[in-house]
Amino acid sequence: MATPHNLYIHVPFCASKCNYCAFHSTACAPDWEKYADGIIRDIEYWAKRMPFQIPGSGCASPGMTPVPTIFFGGGTPSLMPVSIFVRIMDAVRANFDVAAGTEVTLESNPGTLNAARLSEFIAAGVNRLSIGVQSLDNEVLKFLGRRHSAQDARELIRYAQSAGIRVSGDFIYGLPGQTVRDVRKMCRDILELGLSHASLYELSIEPGTPFAKREIKVPADEVMAEMYQAIGEGFLPRYEISNYAAPGSECRHNQNIWAGQPYIGIGPSAAGRILIDGNWYEQDNPKNISDWMKTLPGHYAATPLMEGNTRAVEKIITGLRTTRGVELTDDVRSVIDWEFINSNPEYFLLTTTPSSANADATPSQCEGELTFVSVSNKGILILDSLLTNVIK
């Protein structure tokens, strides 16, 4: 059968732009029907481009590509009319093999969903809601340029929890004047909400954002490091550099992408890594919505082939962000600087095959066949520096 591909569908519309946001989104009143037409056009195109192997035939023919996960990101996908979401999901199901247990995530902002609208999204297929909470302090929310209140966030979390779907919350730390004590309190407040998944992002001042123009200053690197370490004290287990979850509550879509699985990007500015006949293709859709609407879907004949070690390097970069680490496939092994790893054992963990008595050993202790490389708690604090050295 065809190689499974995860789907990322970008919804670039927001009610307003936040002061820190550098993602591709626009604050406007969109033509939702026209947007859906473009999304469905791309879905149908990519479904036809995926080869399907007929068992025993030795040849490929059109067929249904399995989709392990579907992620609606933004922007603010929860602004979408439910009827538009239904149109898009119907197109996905008509063109791809969507199993009953496929994870379907909808990114959302408090204030855009009430219990009734959320129920309609769930009936249409959403089984995981990612909520852009950012803070439970109204003054902080105002500083960030958010439109919702802390009460709005709590209400949406309760709606989703009572509906029985998986719920995640996004939060920001490292604001001007914030202390380690403030971060510890934020973590306690998150746990009190009953969230089993949370993404905690360090505030970064990106060029062109309102914060950059105001020359906002964040805490010193040393303080940021202390804040990061404080998050790991009595909080949800970390499974990626900025993501924490109770066992079984991890985001499967992100896990698949970080592990190097192929994915198709649908919509303006959406990226993708597509695997066809053993070759990787890099997908980078036009960012401008008008350009995207006028451009035929990025078919692989016109999409740059990822030459040489490009994809292996990407798998190392994303894999080392996770506690699982990067799987040591042949392509990954060939671009790792083993001399650097062995010279810095305090920063790395090497996992061997289950039959080894030294599983999860440090490099100097390791024996047997290696299967994964990950970074230690000490290494995660200097990951950017390690990445520049661990890749040949």
Q: Provide CATH 3.20.20.70 ranges for the chain.
A: 6-257
Note the pTM of the prediction, 2 decimals. Answer: 0.91
Alpha-carbon distances of 279 from 11, 21, 22, 244, 273, rounded to whole Å: 28, 34, 31, 33, 10
CA proximity to 389, closest of 343, 350, 324, 352: 343
Q: What is the largest CA-CA distance in the chain?
A: 65
**How far is it, in rounded angstroms, from Cα 27 to Cα 79?**
11
* Residue 75: cis peptide before it, omega within 30 degrees of 0: yes
| pLDDT tens-digit map of 159-212 | 999 999 999 999 999 999 999 999 999 999 999 999 999 999 999 998 988 888
Q: How confident is the model at residue 301 (pLDDT cuts 50, 70, 90)?
A: low
- What pLDDT does 327 receive? 96
| 255 and 273 Cβ atoms separated by less than 8 Å | no
Mean pLDDT, to the nearest integer, of 91-99? 95
| pLDDT tens-digit map of 122-136 | 999 999 999 999 999
- What pLDDT does 2 receive? 81
- What pLDDT does 64 receive? 87
Alpha-carbon distances of 117 from 7, 157, 164, 232, 378, rounded to whole Å: 23, 14, 15, 35, 44
**How far is it, in rounded angstroms, from Cα 392 to Cα 224?**
29
- What pLDDT does 367 receive? 57
- What pLDDT does 148 receive? 94
The least confident of 211-220, 295-304, 373-382 is 295-304
Starting at the earlier edge strand, list the strands of the sheet with 370-375: 326-327, 370-375, 348-352
**How far is it, in rounded angstroms, from Cα 173 to Cα 179?**
9
Q: How confident is the model at residue 303 (pLDDT cuts 50, 70, 90)?
A: confident
Percent of the chain with pLDDT over 90: 73
Mean pLDDT, to the nearest integer, of 242-266? 97
Specify the DSSP element, H or E, that contains 207.
none
Determine the 3-state secondary structure of 103 from DSSP.
strand
Determine the 3-state secondary structure of 76 from DSSP.
coil
Question: What end-to-end distance do the CA atoms of the chain give, in Å?
Answer: 35
Residues 6 or more apart whose Cβ sits within 8 Å of residue 317: 387
**How far is it, in rounded angstroms, from Cα 313 to Cα 335?**
7
The CATH class, in words, for 6-257 is alpha beta
Q: How confident is the model at residue 24 (pLDDT cuts 50, 70, 90)?
A: low
- Please name the residue ranges forming H helices in 145-237: 150-163, 180-192, 210-213, 221-231
**How far is it, in rounded angstroms, from Cα 329 to Cα 313?**
12
Mean pLDDT, to the nearest integer, of 49-66? 60
Does the pLDDT value for residue 57 go beyond 50?
no
Q: How confident is the model at residue 29 (pLDDT cuts 50, 70, 90)?
A: confident
Does the pLDDT value for residue 339 go beyond 60?
yes
The least confident of 9-23, 34-48, 270-284, 371-385 is 9-23
| pLDDT tens-digit map of 351-366 | 887 544 445 555 544 5
